[in-house]
Amino acid sequence: MSNWTTKKLSEIVLFNPRETIKKGILAKKIAMDTLVPFCRDIPSFELTEFNGGTKFRNGDTIMARITPCLENGKTAKINILGDNEVGFGSTEYIVFRAIEGLSNEDYVYYLVCSPIVRDPAIKSMVGSSGRQRVQTDVLKNLEICVPDLETQVKIGLILKSIDDKITINKKINENLAA
């Protein structure tokens, strides 16, 4: 870790990157209630007309920004879209996108899930009781130690392989139960 550098989170990820879906177009919607706490993969989506919401692409990480969803671990990595397809979901998501050449999408997902990002996000929440939301600027300015891209890729691959194994084991268990 001696060669890791301190950076603001906004220097290695894009926050809520701009995407476009025309109103009335059928698109994949990921509702907040479909996310499984502390689970990378999205179990289902709904194909519905777009009429508003947060937009994202494959490889992006979405994190709930409202209480109690954030505290409950509602964070996922988008992996259900086709090439160049844009999906959408709740306006209560923050979207994180790796910056090509600076960050790795798997590393970004696991970083966002870690206490390094989650704890300051939870502590930054403001608003009325029961409707508190993360202050995105606090996360943008969050200073973290970041490895070089090659190390990010290695860390992301190791953690991804563990999640992949968990997914395979769940499928085996479902088949056995059936």
Each residue's pLDDT tens digit, 73-118: 999 999 999 999 999 999 999 999 999 999 999 999 999 999 999 9
Cα–Cα distance for residue pair 86/166, rounded to 1 Å: 27
15-40 tens-digit pLDDT:
999 999 999 999 999 999 999 999 99
For 15-71, give the DSSP string: ES------TT-EEEEE-GGGPPTT-SS----EEEE--S-EEE-TT-EEEE-BTTTTT
pLDDT of residue 3: 86
Q: How far is CA 80 from the centre of its chain?
A: 13
Tell me the C-alpha to C-alpha distance, in Å, between residue 80 and each of 29, 42, 45, 87: 10, 7, 8, 9
**Confidence bin at 131 (pLDDT 50/70/90):** confident
Q: Which has the higher per-residue pLDDT, 177 or 141? A: 141
CA 163 to CA 152: how far, in whole Å? Answer: 16
Quote the pLDDT of residue 132: 93
The HSE-up count of residue 150 (CA atoms within 13 Å, CB side) is 1
Q: Who contacts 118 (Cβ-Cβ below 8 Å, separation ≥6)? A: 70, 112
Task: Encode pLDDT of 149-160 as tens digits.
Answer: 999 999 999 999
* Threshold 0.85, pTM exceeds: yes
pLDDT band at 165 (very low <50, low <70, confident <90, very high): very high
